[in-house]
Structure 1
Amino acid sequence: MSASTQVAATQAPAIHVAGLQAHYGPHQVLHDVDLEVRPGEIMVVMGGSGSGKSTLLRHLVGLTRPTAGHIELLGTDITRAGAMEMLKLRRRIGVAFQGGALFSSMTVLDNIMLPLREHTRLARETMEIMARLKLEVVNLAGADALMPSQLSGGMLKRAAVARAIIMDPALLFFDEPSAGLDPVVSSALDDLILKLRDAMNMTMVVVTHELESAFKIADRITVLDHGRILLVDDVAGIRRSDNRRIQNLLNRRSEDAEVDAQSYLQRLTGEVMPSLGGAGEQARAP
């Protein structure tokens, strides 16, 4: 944990989540999630496929409204905020999407400047200087005139980071930053995340399934499982946890789910099945 993060532990949280519930139709995805992220820390969110990581991220950045609960970002309750409050808040938030999400018809420089064009009235010359400075930060100097199709996977990720930090946000969100990258490029991106935290004192939430990356960059880790938080702790605490599901995740062991024959048949047929025990035999008797 960095010195700034230790000091931040006594401050008001940058993110406060209380009783968060989320549904996709009748299916509940998040169950009463409570979470706090301290100013200046890197919070990594981990979990297996279908654990609710991406759903939690969508709610944290305000893309989806929760079924119940509250989410406060930098003191603003986004579950109650109006359009103008959200617009003001989004100027203080950056998001680096998993695939980069750069516009293919725009140069790298124009992609990086996009938030400035949307949220400021700066002269184009000023915006270009600011964008080139951010490209320097992410080690992409000289790539400003390239198109996204001309970038490698790692370059796309770094360009996405440059766009996410162009407004010097207080909060920065990453969605699977290492996905699809080779180990060397992934490690370089981890180093960039740490550099940004230390140099710009940003609070970061990183959703990832890459264990090595998570252990390298995290101040604390939140482990999600089937929409519930199993544990929030530092790297050492996560490693020594005796929770079976956490250890299965860390050691890449599969979960052997028990199959109930009656519920399985019910899912296949969409009908209420009679008991497979004696009651079912009696129901079929003449």
Structure 2
Amino acid sequence: MTHLITATELAHEIEDVVVLDVRWALTTANTSAGRTDYDAGHVPGAYFVDLDAELAARPGDGGRHPLPDPAVVEAMLRRAGISAHTRVVTYDGKESYAAARAWWVLRWVGIADVRVLDGGYAAWLAAGLPVSTEEPADRHGDVEVRPGHLPTLDAAGAAALARDGLLLDARAAERYAGETEPIDPVAGHVPGSLNSPTAAWIAADGTFRRDLAEHWERVRAGHDVGGGAVGVYCGSGVTAAHEMLALAELGVDAVLYPGSWSEWIRDPARPVATGHSPG
């Protein structure tokens, strides 16, 4: 089953799904940028979801975007009218980083049918489809979330997987190498992890590249672990979710390290590697 939906497909199914707008920007000082974009225009009927407030807990020892409080997720889903068997579509501005985080969190709490609008709101606009500035009224879904439907890695599990399996670092190559670190206080990567920048999985128009399988073969060339486990991390568990989505499209059951690099470096006793090789 594909985890993606095209703009045209969504337009045909719009009456039968709940749409969540998860527009968000990691690097902006304006934390309300996503909401501002939503107010300016969105897919008709879409509910706005605040990634920082509703898809993550407050920053702390668990990293910059720890796993969210299930009660907060449940309240958000109920507000959108979601029940156990509701079909859900998430989208963001273009590249689907935030939409993939929503896709992963919803599946983690037990929502089975979640898809991501490939290419995001940009694809919707490019298809010439209608937009709305009207915010839908709150609804009264009855979903009961049950976190734990997807496995996760903690720091110890990530270290073990880097040693015995395949742990992918989804950040840009220069951050992986420790050449620059614009967000977190320590630069480098988890020793033994393999760099696989999330941006390389995306086409120029923000959709997932059409040669995902071939790209995956190039990524893991020389690092084949057979049927062994694959894990993914990034800076804080957002862009790594995008890579999780790409792997899911290929039938690869990867495991997310939600705390990611921003959690790893909270403990100064944890080792740090630099350079472009796993270390």
TM-score, normalised to structure 1, is 0.25
Pick the structure with greater CA Rg.
1
Higher fraction of helix = 1
Q: Which has the higher strand share?
A: 1
